[in-house]
Structure 1
Amino acid sequence: MTCEPLFWLLKKVVPTVWNEQCQEAFEKIKNYLIKPPILVPLVPEKLLLLYLITMGIAIGALLAQYLEESRKENVIYYINKKMLAYEEKYSPLEKKCVALVWANRKFRYYMLAFKGVIADHLAHCSPEETEEIQGDFLDEDIMGIEVESWKMYFDGATNQNRSGIGVLLISPKGTHIPFYGRLNFPTTNNATEFEACIRGLQAALGLRVKELEVYGDLALIISQIQNRWKIKEEMLMPYHECLQKWTSKFNMIQYQYVPKM
């Protein structure tokens, strides 16, 4: 992988020596950033493609969409990360599985919103390895979502650099409306979940939705929203009050907990 020589310099046990490989990797990254690929928004009802790569100590994934009209693939999003120390010891097959699970979690709302397929990332596997992996995939009919009314899925995540929220609205006719946002202020995971839920409700009301089923993957937050558990964090109380205000604007609203994928 292009960045691998630079990744090795980050290891404490490796002396910091800038060699020709590091310089070459740096030049490639610089040239890449000068002319980055243009990301395009999703087109509803079109096929999604997921490309995975595992090389050395890093994994990457690219989500694309094939458009028959233009006969080309558009890049939707791409991600990469350095493997954890124990992941580096995995076999090539295990690393591919790690990459698949990681990409599926990162692209969760895209996967829920659009029908997609996985690109042939197993081309370098033996027939026996390919059979082993394919045998573990769930049937696509089991993963289908039966849409009978407006539904909303929300999620929030916080790390040391930033906080992000994601919301997916599904209409009674099956139209998927995903949107994402970044919070430009420091917050906690629980507060981010409340932010995501509140903004999702606001978006639903903006579409004149009056009956809504809401799904979240954090049991604590769902229980607090349902008033089954008390809120002990003082900073979350204004969020709870705000959410209750928006909740009251619906004719019918239900909250349900769904485990993470």
Structure 2
Amino acid sequence: MVSEVGGGVKRIRHLYLPRTTIKAQALADFVSQIAGISLEGTFKIEKWLLHVDGSSTIQSSGAGIVITSPQSEDLELAVKFGSKASNNNAKYEALVISMKMAHEAGARHHIAYSDSQLIVKQVEDTYKAKEENMIQYLQQIAELKISLNYFQLIQIPREENVNANCLSKLASALEDCRTRHITIQYLPRQ
């Protein structure tokens, strides 16, 4: 700030302004410029997407899981359960199995998708679980979430969960539970 003092002499006054907060990315950019290093990708979050579904029939039950890595690579899994489970139990099992598998692959940022309103609302704690087995699943999920940096479970329409749904139905329909490699081909109309 400049002010005039008698006889045309100007005096410069110092004006003090509070410092503004430096954002993390701006600070990282500044440090990388000064140090001459690249920090590209340092703050990138590695999101893993988990699509889950469960299926229960009169004969058996199973889970369908599609895990998508940050590089958009899909792992599709159909899991047949050794014992009969309710449809809700099968859906919870699918979620627990997918969380464990993604964690073992190094994922710490999970975004899971399910078409089950009940499962999603119970995990969100919007609905209270009354049955003991549901409470146990919720405890298992809470324990798994502790080792994650981020977890979100989102309810989606069944039409957006087609692959996991098909895999769960395949798993519950199979007669035996040996490991298989199944090729699915698309045959266009002629």
Deviation by residue 1:5-58 (Cα, 9 ceiling, x = unmatched): xxxxxxxxxxxxxxxxxxxxxxxxxxxxxxxxxxxxxxxxxxxxxxxxxxxxxx
Q: Which amino acid aligns with 1:255?
A: L
Q: 1:152 matched to which residue of 2?
A: 50
Please state if 1:259 is matched with 2:188.
Answer: no
SS in 1 for 2:158: coil
SS in 2 for 1:155: strand
5+ residue gaps, structure 2: 1-45, 160-190
Q: 1:216 matched to which residue of 2?
A: 114
Please state if 1:204 is matched with 2:102.
Answer: yes
Q: 1:228 matched to which residue of 2?
A: 126
Instruction: Give structure 1 regions of 4+ aligned residues with deviation exceeding 3 angstroms.
Output: none
Larger relative contact order (Cα-Cα within 8 Å, sequence gap ≥ 6): 2
SS in 2 for 1:240: helix
2:144 aligns with one of 209, 226, 246: 246
Q: CA deviation at 1:236?
A: 1.4
Please state if 1:171 is matched with 2:55.
Answer: no
Find the aligned partners of 2:52 and 2:77 in 1 and give their Cα distance: 10
SS in 2 for 1:161: coil
What is the TM-score of this pair, normalised by structure 2? 0.58
In angstroms, what is the RMSD of aligned CA positions? 1.2
Find the aligned partners of 2:47 and 2:67 in 1 and give their Cα distance: 10
Q: Which amino acid aligns with 1:239?
A: Y
Q: How many equivalent pairs are there?
A: 114
Q: Which amino acid aligns with 1:191?
A: N
Find the aligned partners of 1:235 and 1:210 in 2 and give their Cα distance: 26
- Bigger Cα Rg: 2
Q: CA deviation at 1:230?
A: 0.2
Q: CA deviation at 1:179?
A: 1.1
Q: CA deviation at 1:235?
A: 2.3
Deviation by residue 1:233-254 (Cα, 9 ceiling, x = unmatched): 2221111111111122110111
Q: CA deviation at 1:149?
A: 2.6
SS in 2 for 1:228: coil
Identity of aligned residues (%): 24
Find the aligned partners of 1:243 and 1:170 in 2 and give their Cα distance: 19
Please state if 1:195 is matched with 2:93.
Answer: yes
SS in 2 for 1:250: coil
Deviation by residue 1:129-173 (Cα, 9 ceiling, x = unmatched): xxxxxxxxxxxxxxxxxxx83111000000100001011111111
Q: Is the 8 A contact 2:108 2:150 kept in 1?
A: yes
